[in-house]
Chains A and B, each alone.
Chain A
């Protein structure tokens, strides 16, 4: 291949990457500009500073929103890891009555959209006194059929020799789960944990209807709150808050990329 052709290919890739990431790049750039320059359309302004970020941290509850999101997404991730692992273990290694029927019941939940369940769920959470509360934000999501299937699939990959060896060592079910099954499936476990954290960090509709104060409002709904208040005209600061919200997930994605590439592949071909 000639040098010219190679150069042209790199140029093409770079142009596509910049175009694709343009909304983020523009957001980062605007977050560094004073709002009056943005309002004047002076995007080539050289008055760059971190003032918008400083202002966002001091004058808005963005830190509180971030903490709420970390707590919510973190608790859900832990909850799903524990509950889905237990259920996946049962489906992978145990024989019991109605196994097929129960497996089918888990399958059915994947066909039902959460959006269609929000009214009764809102009433349930309200009856439990969990509105505007971490409990209401997390407990309904402590398990997922998707997670159970993904982890069951991983457990089924464990060689039968290893399973038999666990029995030979006289491990109890929980010991086997903790000392053999989980470490053996750690790549899938990490992928699942990252996926769950990302999904629930990004969750929007449920916290929108179940949180009313900044004490529990997660960051995605917080963005709407900031945007609808009078800060809306302060575009520099609004962009700074959007970038602050984007950073944790972008970093997580960068860290988790090799896991996603490996295991999304499995998900793509095996469902």
Chain B
């Protein structure tokens, strides 16, 4: 009882203090925030401003912003067939990647919510690809599709297919990159979808059982609409991820064949660090930033609504 009284007293005391403390609290808060602010200023805000600045300049041989050219870098990239090809290829890749990841994720989540003993083991296995780094996974996928030792090539040969090297074909290379990327993203998507599946109240399924709905119909007409906020969240997350994809290209196709997989992030890297054309690369970076910022804004906006929904 006495402790309670004390607590109440200190509560009101401290509440009284809070009002007077607001003004003198600026300093300690500054020290708590300063380290993070310093890093973010130096390595996020400053470089972003510099990228915008550089995008208005032509670059000289030494990599310095030498001559102000206004919006010319932007006009140039949007007239450059290679950049337009990169942008179109990126869009195709990103949409395919996000859709296939989500569809497969839903299938896996449905399988992993069957009422069976030891289902946890299968949940662990399905999430397993989450632990593979892009670089190691790329080597594994390169091995699958390598024309001389890849098991897919051997299989195609055995089936009498003459074109066994998918990676020299633009469509084939796109398919391999999409599959490899989906595989890498699937573990995370599965875990998110699994918890969404588990949050659907079981009564819905019980009623549907009585109505004689098939499992497939239940998933399509009950689960999917119920988890639509999660599906949308994942879709946007995968879109953002897709636009930033880099390692798979660098290790599996190198942007080829004939620039068919020279997607945006890879093109920026090449223009900057292979061709040392910082002005062009900066303009391309800003295009990427606008896309990502827009997608992230949609995600934040949506998440806010989803909190109310849940």
| Of listed B43, B188, B194, B289, residue having the most chain A CB within 10 A | B43
Chain B CB within 8 A of A58 CB? no
Q: Would A41 and B251 count as touching, CB distance under 8 A?
A: no
Contact A26 B289 (CB under 8 A): no
The stretch of B67-75, B83-91, B129-137, B202-210 in contact with A is B129-137
Q: Quick check: B195 and A265 within 8 Å, CB to CB?
A: yes
Residues of B within 8 A of A241 (CB): 139
Task: For B183, list chain A residues within 8 Å (CB).
Answer: 20, 23
Whether B135 and A112, one on each chain, are in contact in the complex, defined by CB atoms closer than 8 angstroms, is no
Of the four ranges (under 10, 10 to 19, 20 to 34, 35 or more), the interface on chain A belongs to 35 or more
CB proximity of A211 to chain B, nearest CB, Å = 13
Annotate A95-117 by CB proximity to B: 1 below 8 A, 0 otherwise. 11101001001110111111111
Q: How far is the CA of A53 from the CA of B192 in the complex (A)?
A: 35
B30 contacts A43, CB within 8 Å?
no
Tell whether, in the assembled complex, residue B128 and residue A117 are in contact, meaning their CB atoms are under 8 Å apart. Answer: no
A61 at the interface (CB under 8 A from B): no
- Which chain A residues (17-36) contact chain B, with CB distance < 8 Å? 17, 20-21, 23-24, 26-27, 30
Contact B272 A245 (CB under 8 A): no
Within the complex, what minimum Cβ distance (angstroms) separates A101 from chain B?
A: 12
Asked if residues B36 and A17 are in contact (CB atoms below 8 Å), the reply is no
Inter-chain contact A119/B28, CB cutoff 8 Å: no
Please state if A111 and B192 are interface contacts (CB–CB under 8 Å). Answer: no
How far is B244's CA from A111's CA once the two chains are assembled, in angstroms?
12
From residue A231, how far is it (CB to closest CB) to chain B in Å?
A: 12
Contact between chains at A268 and B230 (CB < 8 Å): yes
Pair B47/A120 contact, Cβ less than 8 Å: yes
How far apart are the CA atoms of A143 and B11 in the complex, in Å? 34
Determine if B97 is an interface residue (Cβ-Cβ < 8 Å): no
Q: Check A87 for interface membership: any CB of B closer than 8 A.
A: yes
C-alpha spacing A139/B35, complex, angstroms? 11
**A229 at interface by CB-CB < 8 Å:** no
A208 interfacial contact with B, CB 8 Å: yes
Q: Closest CB-CB distance, B150 to chain A, in whole Å? A: 10
- In the complex, what's the smallest C-beta–C-beta distance from A114 to chain B, in angstroms? 8
Contact A23 B144 (CB under 8 A): yes
Query: Do the beta carbons of A227 and B133 come within 8 Å of each other?
Result: no
- Please give, as numbers and ranges, the residues of chain A lying within 8 Å of B37 by CB-CB distance: 87, 102
Binary flags per residue of B226-262, CB closer than 8 Å to A gives 1, else 0:
0000100100000000011011001100000000000
* B66 contacts the other chain (CB 8 A): no
A245, B133: Cα distance in complex, Å:
8
| Complex: A111 Cα to B297 Cα, angstroms | 7
With known contacts A116-B51, A117-B51, A269–B46 Cβ distance under 8 A: no
16 A-B contact pairs sorted by A residue (CB < 8 Å): A13-B112, A14-B122, A23-B137, A24-B128, A26-B151, A43-B154, A87-B35, A109-B44, A140-B39, A140-B42, A141-B43, A224-B251, A235-B146, A243-B136, A250-B128, A271-B303
Interface residues of B (CB under 8 A from A): 6-7, 10-11, 14, 18, 21-22, 25-26, 28-30, 32-33, 35-37, 39-40, 42-48, 50-51, 54, 108, 111-112, 114, 116, 119, 122, 124-137, 139-144, 146, 148-149, 151, 154, 183, 186, 188, 191-192, 194-196, 199, 230, 233, 243-244, 246-247, 250-251, 265, 268-269, 272-273, 278, 281-282, 285-286, 288-289, 292-293, 296-297, 299-300, 303-304, 306-307, 310
